[in-house]
Amino acid sequence: MAEAHRRPLSPGAWILLVAALAGLVTAAINAFSSGNGIAFTGGAYLVLVSTALLLLAALVIAFARHAPRFVRGLLLVLALLDIFGTAAAAYFLESRFLIAFMALGLVGWLVHLVHDPARHAGAGAMAEAAR
């Protein structure tokens, strides 16, 4: 019975999660690899923190399916702002891989927005309650 109430994860949430994790690894390499010209700078540390926050938001979006609707909506808006901000900072730091991962994160965000199982499950539960 408990299995019937489990919502499937959105493919977009998985894409966003993978992009955030890959972005965090790339940002860490950029921040601490002394041969790239941007290591140990404030901008590199800022990008490292922003990708860590994006990963945290992606984890909550993917796995906290019972969170209130406004929390999920707020995290989606903040994740979108983080994606754009991190991509802009990566552009200025000339980190092409990080730009690519943020583009992938944007694709995952859009897919999640269109294909969110939590949004569709609420409509089905309301229809069943009306019967």
Q: What structural domains does the chain harbor?
A: 11-123 (1.20.120)
Share of the chain above pLDDT 90, in %: 72
pLDDT score of 71 more than 60? yes
Q: What is the pLDDT of residue 128?
A: 47
* N residues, the chain: 131
Quickly tell me which residue has 């754009």 as its tokens. Answer: 84
Structure tokens at 98: 């990080």
Average predicted confidence (pLDDT) for the chain: 87
3-state secondary structure of 131: coil
Report yes or no: 61 and 16 within 8 Å, Cβ to Cβ. yes
DSSP, res 36: S
Unique residue bearing structure tokens 């290591």: 39
Estimate to the nearest angstrom the gap between the alpha carbon of 14 and the chain centroid: 9
Structure tokens at 76: 């989606």
Q: Band of the pLDDT at 118, cuts 50, 70, 90?
A: low
Task: Tell me how crowded residue 111 is: count the other CB atoms within 10 A of its CB.
Answer: 17
Strands (E), the chain: none
pLDDT at 129 over 50: no
Contact 47, 30 (CB under 8 A): yes
Q: How many CB atoms lie within 10 A of CB 127?
A: 9
Assess contact for 89 and 14: CB atoms under 8 A.
no
Do 5 and 121 touch, CB atoms closer than 8 A? no
